Amino acid sequence: MPTIEELSGALQLASPALPIGSFSYSQGLETAVELGLVNNEQTARVWIDAGLTGIIGRCDAPVMISIFRTYQVESESELASLNSWYLASRESVELREETLQMGWSLLRLANALHWLDPQNPVNRLTQVAFPTAFAAAAVALDLSEDIALTAFCFGWLESQVLAIMKLIPLGQVAGHRVLTECRARIGDVVNLAKTVSFEDVSAFAPMLAIVSGRHEDQYTRLFRS
């Protein structure tokens, strides 16, 4: 069982109040709504659930926990390699800029709060992806793998639900129904992320790439991605 200190650290790291700018991104949802692909509670649940299980579960979460493990064994070269791999996997300018901005903001915050040693190898990277910064903060807060992954997945899920509540819009109860239904899948995502071979990690998500690319010149926008 997590300690109170570990649980409170995870809640802080996953909080939408964390000043890293996650509220300003929709990760393609805005264009999905514009195109009519997502237009009600049911389609929102299907879209977000697919993102959680098929994208976060098969790429972002496994990459994050792999980086988390490199901090444990102090492998700076592996850290740099995984960070570069993740950045190369971003299929649009917006997705790449999003992860770099959020990674930079979280790293800056973690240093300002003295979570990280100034000599931490993450501080020597010239570009820091969000999963890299998240893993560094999770290790610094002494989170277990399960708790770190749960916080990572729930933070993404809550951001998506908050975005869709503004975009359709959905009411608060409907939004929390989507959150509750998708949250039930986090356990499976965590277990997959911990056990999947890195050779099977995949960022293949054609529809996300399409809507993300189209968002770059969408006429009206609330979000940065």
CA pair distance 107, 118, nearest whole angstrom: 11
Residue 33, pLDDT score:
96
Instruction: Specify the amino acid at residue 48.
Output: I
Which of 209, 168, 82 is CA-nearest to residue 133?
A: 82
Residue 74, pLDDT score:
83
Residue 46, pLDDT score:
98
CA pair distance 203, 5, nearest whole angstrom: 34
CA pair distance 186, 165, nearest whole angstrom: 20
Residue 219, pLDDT score:
85
Structure tokens at 147: 């708790």
Structure tokens at 81: 């390699």
Do residues 46 and 126 touch, judged by C-beta distance below 8 A? no
Structure tokens at 114: 């003295």
Instruction: Specify the amino acid at residue 49.
Output: D
Helix axis angle for 172-183 and 145-167, nearest 10°, is: 150
Residue 1, pLDDT score:
82
Residue 2, pLDDT score:
84
Taking the chain (225 residues) in runs of 10, the rounded mean pLDDT of each run is: 94 94 94 96 98 97 97 90 97 96 98 95 97 98 97 98 96 98 98 95 93 90 91
Q: Which domains are delineated in the chain?
A: 27-211 (1.10.4190.10)
